[in-house]
Structure 1
Amino acid sequence: MVDREDVANARIESATSQSSSTIKLVPADRRVRELIRGEAIREAGTFDQSLPLTRLRLEKAAEDLLKRLNLPRGYLGWTMVAIGSAFWQPQVMNVPYQRRLLLLPHCMRNVSLCAASYSKEGLACLGCGGCGLGWLGEIARAKGYRILIAEGSPVVLRLILSGEADALLGVACLNSLERSLERILMAGIPCMAVPLLVDRCQDTVTDEDWIVEMIETPYVPRTLVGRSYLPLMRLAVRIVRDSAEELLPRQLATTSAGNTAEDPLSVTEDIGYGYLKEGGKYYRPFITLGVYDAMEGGRLARLSGSGQPEIPDYVQRVALAVEVFHKASLVHDDIEDGDRYRYGRTTLHERWGIPIALNVGDYLVGLGYSAIASSGAPAELTADLVRMFSQAHVELCSGQGAELWLARNPLEPVRVPQILRIYAMKTGPAFEVSILAGLRLAGPLPKWVSQIRKFAHAFGIAFQIQNDLSDWEMEEDNKKLLGTDLLSRRPTLFWALGWHLLGMRFADMMAALPPDVSKDAVLERVHAVRSEFERRGVFAAAEKIFRKERDRAVALASAIPHEEVRQFLVYLAEAVLRTGRV
């Protein structure tokens, strides 16, 4: 039992030994962890299990819990994990052991003794007994778990979205858990986790008895009432990765080996289809499918994670077209912005040159309209869809064109309202048309379609600001550098806030960032800009604008009169739009 004096002492020790600005502190005292965990179980018991768990809901519950216990906000991340695990436990119990994936961290190994090697799926443990990985793996393997020893690698998401696992149980540091949270919440897969006690790359420690308890979560099959968008997310992935050529057959002969040099006539088609399947989060086709299903009563959203959704082929072809258009815009954006990496690989124009990449982007635009025209939908519906998508193209190109125009004079001041209007035009239309397509595929557009447009406007602005914020976060799997937008002189919200809050000091800093210097020199100057942004409140201002637009999107979604569509759009906004930099 923990008394209040012990809790107070732990709070004081934490506040004096670690930065209070972070939300990813682990309570050093086991008794404090037990107290939070017990309260988290009680808190999760008050949640409506029929609604998907969202980050906003989870974060608010964790903040309220810590306030009740008079504990520092630095424990927020740890508390969110505890509440989320308790919330998902009943759903995990409904999943057979053979359908559960256990993710263990390679940093638990004893480096001085470990002789295991790495494969593309992580560490291949030899079970030598030199660390806890071996005996924890034995317990899980005896029950039928699939086990991966890796750090939140893309293979985990692939296994989930491909339907090879219906529940995820993991052990990781809070940094890794935080990075994974967005995709876990978006996929809606039941997940339980035990955080590591320290964040280091080797010989780390954790509450191993809690890991055993998590692994031994019993299998108790029962009927659960609630929504899960995982079947629709899996369908979106399957349509693009596995069914694209069946739904939208190639027109030219291809080589299975992908050797485009053998047939120059099929080069564009080969590269285009290959790029379509290359990667991504598949938000946009998922949105179209989700809205369509919501208008049809939300039947598929009530399936279990292993269910097989049945959606007409013409609906799937339109969802595929949504992703084809998105990929086309990325090819062109990467050229216009000078980006070198996409999906962890060099961009198409870096691989094949700008002329070929431009042509592939144009090809994908045509392929998208071909998918709509040949979808098999009734003629009136097809005409409406072509009109919707063409209008979206006009708007987003106008928004992108405005950004490119401003980039011609990078040292000219840019105003925040100007940037937000550009964001609404360049990012909002893609989300708007994804929603409208789902609505129209299910029948005539409803009278409340104007509310959808306002939602997409706010969602697009918040999504783009979130993307701007992520430019200052390192993404190892995408080979990104910090501040690439800044280095490219791209007119973003940070550019406008820099002018607004720093004035000519910002102009001087930008002039000191010549692109033709060494990488180390560039990094040093970018970090100097980042420090100045922190000091002058640029990041705080960006996060404030982000939260305003995110909250506006949630409020607009909450006012949609159709229950299933309302639930889906609220879930979408809360799952996709995070809380900014943490």
Structure 2
Amino acid sequence: MVHPKLFAKKAGCIALLKNGHFSGLAPMVNMKETNGILKVPEESFVRNKMRQASATMIEKFELRPPVNILRLEQLAKELVSEQEVSEKYIPFAMVLLGNESWRKTVKATPMNRRLLLLPQCLNNKEKCEGMFDELGLNCAGCKACPIDDILIEAESKGYANLVAEGTTVAVGLVEEGSIDAVIGVSCMPVLQRSFEPVSNAAVPVIGIPLLFDGCEDTRADIKWILDEMRSYEADKKHQPISVSLLKKRIEGYFTKENVGKYIPARDKTEQIAQEYLLIDGQRIRPLLTALSYLAYSNNDNEELLQSLTLIIECFHKASLIHDDIEDNANQRYNTLTAHSKYGVPQAINAGDFLIGKGYELLSDLDASNETIINCLRFIASSHIQLTRGQGVDILFNDGKIQLQPDEIIEVFKNKTGEAIKVALLLGAIVGGAGKQEQKVLEQFADYMGIAYQIRDDLNEFDEQHPEEKTGDYPFLLALLNKHFAEQNKETPALLLKQVAEFRKLIDKTNIGKEAKSFLQSYVDSCYAELDKLNNAKLRLSLYGVMGKIFKTETTNE
């Protein structure tokens, strides 16, 4: 995804250029049941009555965003029936219900972290003096339409503003960290198509439909727009965490100067440890630690946050150094692995140093003794599980044992699942999360680790590489083992070295499709666990993380 570029425009309007397409800001609708009609009530008292009923219904059922599309449709039908209005307003009711589910989050978002999105078609085509370009409408302030007055107020409140049609804005701006919530005005058909991309990215949004569809000289409920713009209430519990801003912040922790405060490279061991800590991967695990800590503590302690992220990265990089030795891998992150560059003995020693350093930093953490003991106990237990998983994985990759899908899934859970679990739980425990929340996070981590590994298998298989071996695709190989076992046959031992033949068999047996089905199942399980979290900030943050990692598997249906 290409990140949008911001351009300053007159009257405070900011436009975006983005390669891609964004459909809008509210739920999709079952068009068959509404006969293709997407209507907004003409009378303001009907709209307001439905808005109030939507707020009551969301409160009654205690629904938390993002709400499942089928649930929204069901509630919309009930609302229309209760309010005795036409069924043609079911799509409109879905927009209102979606809005109310997000209201607390959007209301708690500072105005300078919001985007106001207006459609170009609100302008008066005959009298407009503004200029159109590839970025949208450059408002001239001619007062021929309500756009200028709205933008002036929005600018005074600190909003980022955009006047454009159907551009890919909300998701892109949230992903790059420019905004945390959206108030968007658009026609019903555009709003109708937006549920999936917005829900996947967990973008907090209030969608306001135009009063009628059309590509020019449309009208909007200006009072409604202004009411939504002016609505703000400081609420730490619901104010969203900007994942992208936090990610950039964490990247700042891993500079040579910062890491040098903890590992000053006084000897060869420290030099190697520092070097591999500074090699930039995706830093997903430090991000998860920071998210869970901030979500539960509501305490932005910079020194503590930096220590937590460094602890988890020490453990992570140590496991990678040792893993590369065991796999005899020559490269990672497009650079030489530690043992390829410095030899196996030095690499093992540097990995051991990082493990020790992680525990040392943890013991010195600015937290209560009970908290530190709980962290130590959890991390040590997880470390043991990870080594069990790695031990089975080594035997499997060497062709010494054959595993079925459920057995390789257990390996994934013990390896990647435990690594994700440690990252999330370290932050959660230090942040003060309750036992039930911790339990949900543990189960989520198991599912995410499994899904992550299956996705990697599929991605690697699609990309291919010159030095590949069948052991690079453990899940596909396990599915192939199952395929042969169902025919009472042994998987041919030669397949471990014959990658071309392995690929033919995978295609012939349609195992790739079966693997994708497993992947979808575990992604769905991840979301099911997230929906059990009481902490709204962490739930939405993890929704956003999931949406980025598993884009093609994320449906929310």
What is the CA-CA distance between 1:33 and the residue it aligns to? 3.2
- Aligned residue among 101, 109, 123 for 1:87: 101
- Aligned residue among 25, 30, 33 for 2:38: 33
Q: Which amino acid aligns with 2:173?
A: V
In the other structure, the counterpart of 2:173 is 156
**SS, match of residue 182 in structure 2:** strand
1:351 aligns with 2:335: yes
**SS, match of residue 219 in structure 1:** helix
CA offsets 1:207-241 (integer angstroms, 9 cap, x no match):
99699989867422443668326349689647623
CA distance in 2: counterparts of 1:232 and 1:265, whole angstroms: 34
1:249 aligns with 2:261: yes
- Aligned residue among 361, 373, 382 for 1:392: 382
In the other structure, the counterpart of 1:269 is 274
Q: Which amino acid aligns with 2:392?
A: A
Q: Which amino acid aligns with 1:100?
A: R
Q: Which amino acid aligns with 1:393?
A: H
In the other structure, the counterpart of 1:15 is none
Sort the Cα spacing of 1:32 and 1:131 in 2 relative to 1 into closer, same or farther, 3 A: farther
CA offsets 1:402-456 (integer angstroms, 9 cap, x no match):
223212229x75323312322332234335444654565478x98xx5x678645
In the other structure, the counterpart of 2:205 is 191
CA distance in 1: counterparts of 2:538 and 2:29, whole angstroms: 32
Sort the Cα spacing of 1:100 and 1:384 in 2 relative to 1 into closer, same or farther, 3 A: closer
In the other structure, the counterpart of 1:10 is none
In the other structure, the counterpart of 1:220 is 230
Q: Which amino acid aligns with 1:394?
A: I
CA distance in 1: counterparts of 2:288 and 2:241, whole angstroms: 14
In the other structure, the counterpart of 1:6 is none
1:47 aligns with 2:44: no
* 8 Å Cα contact 1:381/1:441 also seen in 2: yes
**SS, match of residue 230 in structure 2:** coil
* 8 Å Cα contact 1:85/1:192 also seen in 2: yes
The TM-score, its normalising length taken from structure 1, stands at 0.56
Q: Which has the higher contact order (CA 8 A, sep 6+)?
A: 2
1:429 aligns with 2:418: yes
In the other structure, the counterpart of 1:129 is 132
CA distance in 1: counterparts of 2:191 and 2:498, whole angstroms: 37
Q: Which amino acid aligns with 1:372?
A: L
In the other structure, the counterpart of 2:6 is none
**SS, match of residue 39 in structure 2:** helix
Q: Which amino acid aligns with 2:411?
A: I
CA distance in 1: counterparts of 2:453 and 2:479, whole angstroms: 12
1:416 aligns with 2:405: yes
Q: Which amino acid aligns with 1:351?
A: T
CA distance in 1: counterparts of 2:96 and 2:327, whole angstroms: 41
What is the CA-CA distance between 1:577 and the residue it aligns to? 6.6
State how 1:339-488 maps to structure 2 within 5 Å.
Answer: 348-353=332-337, 355-356=340-341, 359=347, 364-377=354-367, 382=372, 385-409=375-399, 413-434=402-423, 437-438=426-427, 441=430, 455=440, 458-468=443-453, 470-471=455-456, 482=462
CA distance in 2: counterparts of 1:507 and 1:174, whole angstroms: 49
Percent identical pairs in the alignment equals 17
CA offsets 1:352-398 (integer angstroms, 9 cap, x no match):
34534994766654543343244344667545544432332221132
What is the CA-CA distance between 1:283 and the residue it aligns to? 1.8
CA distance in 1: counterparts of 2:538 and 2:31, whole angstroms: 35
What is the CA-CA distance between 1:97 and the residue it aligns to? 5.3
- Aligned residue among 146, 161, 174 for 2:160: 146
What is the CA-CA distance between 1:399 and the residue it aligns to? 1.2
CA distance in 2: counterparts of 1:252 and 1:493, whole angstroms: 41
Sort the Cα spacing of 1:311 and 1:49 in 2 relative to 1 into closer, same or farther, 3 A: farther
**SS, match of residue 136 in structure 2:** helix
CA distance in 2: counterparts of 1:498 and 1:312, whole angstroms: 49
**SS, match of residue 115 in structure 2:** strand
**What 5-or-longer segments of structure 2 have no aligned partner?**
1-26, 42-46, 81-89, 122-129, 142-146
Count of matched residue positions in the alignment of Structure 1 and Structure 2: 463
In the other structure, the counterpart of 1:101 is 115
* 8 Å Cα contact 2:76/2:91 also seen in 1: no
**What 5-or-longer segments of structure 1 have no aligned partner?**
1-22, 70-75, 109-126, 196-204, 255-262, 294-299, 301-308, 341-346, 475-479, 559-563
* 8 Å Cα contact 1:95/1:166 also seen in 2: yes
* 8 Å Cα contact 1:94/1:219 also seen in 2: no
* 8 Å Cα contact 1:337/1:490 also seen in 2: no
CA distance in 1: counterparts of 2:526 and 2:358, whole angstroms: 30
In the other structure, the counterpart of 1:287 is 292
* 8 Å Cα contact 2:362/2:372 also seen in 1: yes
- Aligned residue among 179, 199, 204 for 1:165: 179
Sort the Cα spacing of 1:429 and 1:192 in 2 relative to 1 into closer, same or farther, 3 A: same
Q: Which amino acid aligns with 2:181?
A: A
CA distance in 2: counterparts of 1:102 and 1:369, whole angstroms: 46
CA offsets 1:457-508 (integer angstroms, 9 cap, x no match):
532332134325644887xxxxx77477997544655544454457569969
- Aligned residue among 55, 68, 79 for 1:58: 68
Q: Which amino acid aligns with 1:290?
A: A
The TM-score, its normalising length taken from structure 2, stands at 0.58
RMSD over equivalenced CA pairs, Å: 6.1
CA distance in 2: counterparts of 1:77 and 1:516, whole angstroms: 51
Q: Which amino acid aligns with 2:264?
A: L
Q: Flag the structure with larger Rg.
A: 2
Sort the Cα spacing of 1:50 and 1:481 in 2 relative to 1 into closer, same or farther, 3 A: farther
* 8 Å Cα contact 2:55/2:97 also seen in 1: yes
CA distance in 2: counterparts of 1:77 and 1:326, whole angstroms: 47
**SS, match of residue 48 in structure 1:** helix
CA distance in 2: counterparts of 1:25 and 1:284, whole angstroms: 37
CA distance in 2: counterparts of 1:339 and 1:323, whole angstroms: 20
What is the CA-CA distance between 1:153 and the residue it aligns to? 10
Sort the Cα spacing of 1:542 and 1:271 in 2 relative to 1 into closer, same or farther, 3 A: closer
**SS, match of residue 134 in structure 1:** strand
Sort the Cα spacing of 1:216 and 1:328 in 2 relative to 1 into closer, same or farther, 3 A: farther
CA offsets 1:254-289 (integer angstroms, 9 cap, x no match):
9xxxxxxxx998575255235278667812332244
Sort the Cα spacing of 1:506 and 1:547 in 2 relative to 1 into closer, same or farther, 3 A: farther
CA distance in 2: counterparts of 1:483 and 1:369, whole angstroms: 38
In the other structure, the counterpart of 2:19 is none
**SS, match of residue 59 in structure 2:** coil
What is the CA-CA distance between 1:47 and the residue it aligns to? 1.9
CA offsets 1:496-527 (integer angstroms, 9 cap, x no match):
4454457569969x95996579xxx98xx699
Sort the Cα spacing of 1:128 and 1:65 in 2 relative to 1 into closer, same or farther, 3 A: same
* 8 Å Cα contact 1:50/1:226 also seen in 2: no
**SS, match of residue 409 in structure 1:** coil
What is the CA-CA distance between 1:313 and the residue it aligns to? 4.2
